[in-house]
Amino acid sequence: MRERIVTLTLNPTVDIASNAEAVQPVRKTRTRDESFDSGGGGVNVSRVLRELGGETLAVILAGGVSGRLLEELLDEGGVPRHSVPIASRTRISHTVYDLSARLEYRFVPEGPVLAETEWQAALDALETVPGGWLVASGSLPRGVPDDLYARAAGIAARRGQRFVLDTSGSALRAALGQGLALIKPSRGEFESLIARKLPSTAAQEEAALDLVRQGAAELVAVTLGHEGALLAEPGGVLRLPALDVPVLGAVGAGDSFLAAMVLMLSRGESPREAFAWGMAAGAAAVMRPGTAHPRRADVEALRRRIGVV
């Protein structure tokens, strides 16, 4: 079980994706090619881990009829799960791709308000589920204390697990320095974390390396959209450009990146090698519609395109 990667998703979602000829105000927008996916940061990570041949368990909070649909979608996809029941309904998100404008519109609700007994039950579950790595990913639901991920990091440390965090704002800030193996903010999330703009590559790299040297996290990977990504580790910074691939959807690309990177780290690969696999998985994810559906063959082919790092 030490090879298993456990994921925690406190605010999961049922993701509905569809296409429309044009998105216009007031008028009825008719959609087609609808797809339904289990969603939320950790859920996406678990699904990609399974696609890439990793062993995983998704710990989720689920409630109502939409929560049952979320569980059904996970079961259909063969993703092992541990469900913590909640009283409110799981949220439903909707992404619409405007074919004429080639623009993607994402509608993401806040989600339910959790009672203390519910979020405490999620932490209790982490005390028992076996695994060598714990990946906490996604936003905190309303009603949850800002330091919940810091508490999860403490549980992982006591159990000898490596802890990875992908979140933003006060939840990320509260967990820094709590034995984090890796954090993966986007550029906007990273600038918000350090409370200043980073207009140049040098400024981005220096800020990420400062976090590592201060002990905030062992590794800091910052995704930069079409500009690629950077990885800060004690030995320095590696920056890789984005791979040139056809884009059919961007939902879950960062989660795909994280899944591949953590999988390779769990297998003993170097941080730079794991980073390259993350880049390949993120690119493979945008090549397909829906939420975080990179194909293993595409990830392997794109990793070969990157070459030696």
Rounded average pLDDT over 271-298: 93
Helix, strand, coil % in the chain, rounded to nearest 5: 40, 25, 35
Distances from the Cα of 133 to the Cα of 6, 8, 54, 152, 247, angstroms:
6, 11, 12, 12, 31
How would DSSP label each residue in 231-281?
Answer: EEETTEEEEEPPP----S--TTHHHHHHHHHHHHHHTT--HHHHHHHHHHH
Could you tell me the pLDDT band of residue 1, with boundaries at 50, 70 and 90?
Answer: low
Rounded average pLDDT over 141-157: 97
Locate 148 and state its tokens: 């919940």
Locate 120 and state its tokens: 């405490």
The span from the CA of 79 to the CA of 259, in Å, is: 14
Active-site residue (options: 15, 166, 255, 298): 255
The span from the CA of 188 to the CA of 36, in Å, is: 28
> Could you report the per-residue pLDDT of 165-205, keeping only the tens digit for each?
999 999 999 999 999 999 999 999 999 999 999 989 999 99
DSSP character at residue 7? E
Q: Where are the domains of the chain?
A: 5-26+33-306
The pTM of this model reads: 0.94
Any idea which fold 5-26+33-306 has? UDP-N-acetylmuramoyl-L-alanine:D-glutamate ligase (3.40.1190)
Could you tell me the pLDDT band of residue 258, with boundaries at 50, 70 and 90?
Answer: very high
The span from the CA of 144 to the CA of 119, in Å, is: 7
> Could you report the per-residue pLDDT of 83-136, keeping only the tens digit for each?
999 999 999 999 999 999 999 899 999 999 999 999 999 999 999 999 999 999
Is 298 labeled as catalytic in the residue annotation? no
The span from the CA of 42 to the CA of 157, in Å, is: 19
- The whole-number pLDDT of residue 242 equals 92
Could you tell me the pLDDT band of residue 251, with boundaries at 50, 70 and 90?
Answer: confident
- The whole-number pLDDT of residue 248 equals 79
Average predicted confidence (pLDDT) for the chain: 95
